A and B are shown apart, each in its own frame.
Chain A
Amino acid sequence: MVGALNTYVTPSGFWNPILWLIAFLISLLLAYIIWSRGEKSYKKETEQVKPFFAGNVIESKERAHVRAHNIYWGFVEALRPYYMALKRIHTGDVNDYVAWFIGVTSFMLIIYFLWGVKP
């Protein structure tokens, strides 16, 4: 019965964005009802709003912001060998770019000569 709306059909699945959006808004309303029953007030501008730093004070705003370069340490650490090889390939020198181009062209020449055309 719910399929009456135009659902976006793929070879082995389906998806209806508008229906999901309606359901999402209604459940957002449900969540808001529960949320609005709670306490709203808090003591502004007191020590309360300072970020929790195990009791210490963060000297300046710059230090409170974790910079981009040490993000996803876990992931990069786990794929350490892969990333070392990848960084070595990206040299940034135009001659290497063209060398890669010639390499891939010659490789594809061999492939096309072998299986390029239907016998």
Chain B
Amino acid sequence: MTEFIHHIPALIIVIPLLWGFATPLIGRLSKKGMYAWVVTALAITEALTIAQIYLVLTQGTQVYVMGGATYNTTIPPDSGGIPVRIILTVDAFSAFMAFTAATVTLAGGIYSITSEEGTSGESMYYTLLLLMLSGMLGMVMTGDLFNFFVFLEINSLASAGLIAYRVGKGISVEAAFKYAIISSVGALIYLFGVGILYGEYDALNLAMVASRMQFTGLDKVVMALFTVALAMKAGSVPLHYWVPDAYGKAPGAISAILVTASQASLYALFRVCFSLFGLGSNTLTTGWFLISLGLLSMFVGVTMALIQTDIKRLMAYHAISQTGYMLLGVGVGLATLGTAAFSQYGLQAMEGGIFHIINHAMYKGLLFLTAGAVIYRLGTSDLNKMGGLAHNMKYTTVFFMIGALSIAGIPPFNGFASKLMIYESTYLFNPILSIIAIVVSVLTLASFVKVFHSAFMGPKLYDVKEVPKAMLVGMAILTSLIILFGLFPNIAIQYLVGPAAKALANQAAYISSVMGGA
């Protein structure tokens, strides 16, 4: 049994990959069998990620060498000090992100059993879904720069295919086309940076390159290429234009999972800024880069969302503005890295930013699922054609209210817990930051009140029934986590977010976990 535990990191990536490609076979046998097959795959991955978090908390960073003699010989004896193979380094931050991605995909998978029923090519849908999940988990857990590019490509292509799943008279295909172009441009620029690093330090492992980094002129080029390419993939403002198109046109559950896909790129941006360049680079500049991205994303995202009339585009703009909160939180942590201020409020700012990642994944996933439910029943996503759904879609209305209240940061829910941490730590760095953050959270509330009114309130215009059970189960999973994190933020901080923040901030530990030869 102990042998199996060491292989968990690899299993987490491989299970969705293999089970995804086996789905069309099962699908040919029986529809019900395929649903069971997919849900068990997602459930097993979810359980493994939880086990992984437990392992990382108890035994520290998990290192797994793909194809090595034993699971943790990172530097083979005859390689002269260079970790040759692909190494999965799973520290607390990666385990945290893997858990987030697996939970939202589980909820989305259960949700799409009924929401995608009867559509043509359903088994391909589930294959791409599991492929996308393995791409995300790979991006989050790999310690190898090039391997990250490979998983980034898997994830981008799978989600481009899924966005175009419902052709929707060609509009979704156009959105998927834009998403594919932007992802490939970003990924190739990232690959170009990896090429430069490989040329300079003839190593691809992130920890290895970080330990050998001398910050030459070329490294500054790489810094620029990495940070901006990953910022685009994460969807921050000056480069956010693809987000409303991609999320707005994807089918119900996919836009919820796309949120965690762009959060995986956000993870990569933080990993690059903290672990690859770390204290060698001028953390004030990279910190201010993240903070200014955050401020722009917050304000422009929410002001654009206020005037949208399409329910999914409005929520897409909110995904951008909430990503701004994470960038702000972690950016303040990065800007104060290494100084005395870091221990005073920098670490808590990072904790707020990272806690906001999982909170955002939960309530944004829930909101996209409720939007999918409304579209599933009404067929249109235009807010002007909706009205009075609360009369007979009771559960969806309650789920939507919980999601809207938590995204707006209203006290008892989880959005408030992470935003409170961000407000009360970033203002010490610069008071303007948290003033803008508070104003943006009220504007978020305003736009969701608008959706709440035009879609759910008003006289009974359509006699629609409640959405089928599986969709409600999908939403219930995310709602229970929202309420859990809302009422017990201490537990989330102590077990999930605190170790993740410390692991991210501690570059030396990351390098020693790989180079030190566990």
A contacts B directly in the complex (CB < 8 Å)? Answer: yes
| A binding-site residues for B, Cβ under 8 Å | 6, 8, 10-13, 15, 17-18, 20-21, 24, 61-62, 64-69, 71-72, 75-76, 79, 82-83, 86, 90-92, 94, 96-98, 100-101, 103-105, 108-109, 111-113, 115-118
Q: Is A111's CB under 8 angstroms from B285's CB?
A: yes
Assess the A68–B281 pair: CB atoms within 8 A: no
State which of B281, B303, B386, B487 has its C-beta within 8 Å of the C-beta of A118. Answer: B281
CB of B446 within 8 Å of the partner chain:
yes
Tell me which of A11, A15, A115, A116 contacts B344 (CB under 8 A): A11
Whether B217 contacts A113 by the Cβ 8 Å rule is yes
Contacts of A6 on B, CB cut-off 8 Å?
490
B282 x A11 contact (CB < 8 A): no
- Say which residue of A21, A69, A116 sits within 8 Å of B285 (CB atoms): A116
Q: Please pick, from B229, B284, B303, the residue contacting A79 in the complex, using a CB distance under 8 A.
A: B303
| Cross-chain contact A20 with B228 (CB below 8 angstroms) | no
Contact A97–B178 (Cβ < 8 Å): yes
B221 to chain A, nearest CB (A): 7
Residues of B within 8 Å of A11, CB to CB, are 344-345, 348, 424-425, 428
Q: A105-B224, A116-B281, A117-B215 are in contact. Are A68 and B490 (CB under 8 A)?
A: no
Contact of B220 among A13, A92, A113 (CB under 8 A): A113
The answer to whether A8 touches B221, judged by C-beta atoms less than 8 angstroms apart, is no
The answer, yes or no, to whether B517 is at the interface (CB within 8 Å) is no
Q: Is B309 an interface residue (CB 8 A)?
A: yes
Interface residues of B in 324-373 (CB under 8 A from A): 344-345, 348, 352
Alpha-carbon distance A95/B418, docked complex (angstroms): 37
- Within 8 Å by CB of B459, from A65, A83, A100, A112, lies A65
> Which residues of B in the span 213-231 have a Cβ within 8 Å of any Cβ on A?
215, 217, 219-221, 223-225, 227-229, 231
Q: B306 in the interface, Cβ–Cβ < 8 Å?
A: yes
Q: Verify A67–B489 contact, CB threshold 8 A.
A: no
Q: Give residues 252-282 of B contacting A (CB, 8 Å).
A: 280-282
A72 to B344, CA, bound (A): 41
Contacting pair A111 B289 (CB below 8 A): yes
In contact, A117 and B282 (Cβ under 8 angstroms): yes
Give the contact stretch, choosing among B5-13, B118-126, B239-247: B239-247
The contact sample of 17 A-B pairs, CB cut-off 8 A, is: A15-B420, A17-B411, A17-B417, A24-B412, A64-B458, A69-B384, A71-B454, A75-B306, A86-B303, A92-B245, A94-B177, A94-B178, A94-B181, A94-B182, A98-B181, A109-B221, A116-B285
Tell whether, in the assembled complex, residue B228 and residue A10 are in contact, meaning their CB atoms are under 8 Å apart.
no
**B424 & A68 in contact (Cβ 8 Å cutoff):** no
Q: Which residue of B lies closest to A65 (CB)?
A: B458
Question: For A92, what are the chain B residues with a Cβ–Cβ distance below 8 Å?
Answer: 241, 245
Complex: chain A residue closest to B446, CB-CB: A72
A-B pairs with lowest CB-CB distance, top 9: A68-B454, A68-B383, A65-B458, A61-B459, A10-B424, A117-B215, A11-B345, A109-B224, A112-B220
- Min Cβ gap A86→B in Å is 6
CB-based contact A112/B412 at 8 Å: no
- B461 touches A (CB below 8 Å): yes
Contacts of A13 in B (CB 8 A): 420, 424
Most buried by B among A24, A69, A82, A117: A117
The residues of A that contact B499 with a CB separation of less than 8 Å are none
Contact B487 A18 (CB under 8 A): yes
Residue of A nearest to B178 (CB): A94
Q: Does B108 contact A (CB under 8 A)?
A: no
Q: With both chains docked as a complex, state the minimum distance between the C-beta of A101 and any C-beta of chain B, in angstroms.
A: 5
Q: How far is the CA of A113 from the CA of B225 in the complex (A)?
A: 12
A100 touches B453 (CB 8 A): no
Contact of B185 with A by CB under 8 A = yes
B384 and A115 form a contact (CB under 8 A)? no
Residues of B within 8 A of A103 (CB): 238
- A17-B489, A21-B412, A90-B304 known; A67 vs B182 contact (CB < 8 Å): no
Provide the residues of chain A in CB contact with B451, threshold 8 Å: 68
List chain A residues, Cβ under 8 A from B137. Answer: none
Contacts of A68 in B (CB 8 A): 309, 383-384, 386, 450-451, 453-454
Residues of B contacting A18 in the complex (Cβ-Cβ under 8 angstroms): 487-488
User: Which of B303, B417, B428 touches A12 (beta carbons < 8 Å)?
Assistant: B428
Measured between beta carbons, the chain A residues less than 8 angstroms from B241 are: 90-92, 96-97, 100
